[in-house]
Amino acid sequence: MIRLDWTFLGRLAYRTALRLQYDHARKVAAGAGPMLFLMEHPPTITLGRHADPSNLKLGTEELGRRGIGVHRVKRGGDVTCHGPGQLMGYPVASLDSAAAAVPEWVEGHAEAIVRFLQSHKIHARWSPRTPGVWVGPKKIAALGFHISRRVSTHGFALNLDADLSLFDTIVPCGLKDRGVTSMQSLGARVPSMEKAAAQMAGLVAETFGWSLGISRPADRILDVLEDCSRNCAAG
């Protein structure tokens, strides 16, 4: 059985998260197994491949003054926000290891999120027409992946107790008539970020028929990345 390794990295800069994903994507292309990176970010806005810049309500200079980073990325989707209180999941894997086509890969992660929320007494649903996980007319989780040669990067963002005022700086996912919500806003008991990460890792593994590996230590993951960066710079 294929094993899903995973790690919870706490709060991590967005650029560092990209480096982790792309580093492991190269390993997956060479035959390594799947890895789920779980974390939260400082205030960050990302624009997907087809994002409309007009969905930013503030200019990048003003956003920078407010301490909000802005990144153009390869994932699908439009514009969204990340920040403290939002669980980020980046499953880096070959779709072949999940025996999945792209729609099944995306919907499988949405299913895991829906099951997570159901376990906390929140009824949510996946919408393929307006991709995301929704509670009524409000989105509680966004999904956006980049698939290259059957290897997936990027992933999902689930609002636990996120500060939703950050979303006032954008038109979330370009949907002007929709809102965003969080577990906290819905009155649910919010688990710690670490407990939510562990539960999501188990649900993702179960969804794709993988066994769940032991959590990899965050400091070791980041040390390996730093060693790689130094060696690349030296070379």
For 52, the 3-state DSSP assignment is coil
Cross-sheet strand order for the sheet of 44-47: 69-72, 44-47, 79-82
Sign of the four-CA dihedral 188, 194, 198, 200? positive
The yes-or-no answer on residue 232 being catalytic is no
Both tokens assigned to 87:
């669980």
Instruction: Give the C-alpha separation, 127 to 31, whole Å.
Output: 33
Asked if 109 and 208 touch (Cβ cutoff 8 Å), the reply is: no
Which of these is catalytic: 81, 173, 228, 232?
A: 173
Q: Are strands 138-148 and 132-135 parallel, antiparallel or unpaired?
A: antiparallel
DSSP letters along 114-179, please?
HHHHHHTT---EEETTTTEEEETTEEEEEEEEEEETTEEEEEEEEESS--GGGGGGB-GGG-TT-E
- Residues identified as active-site: 173
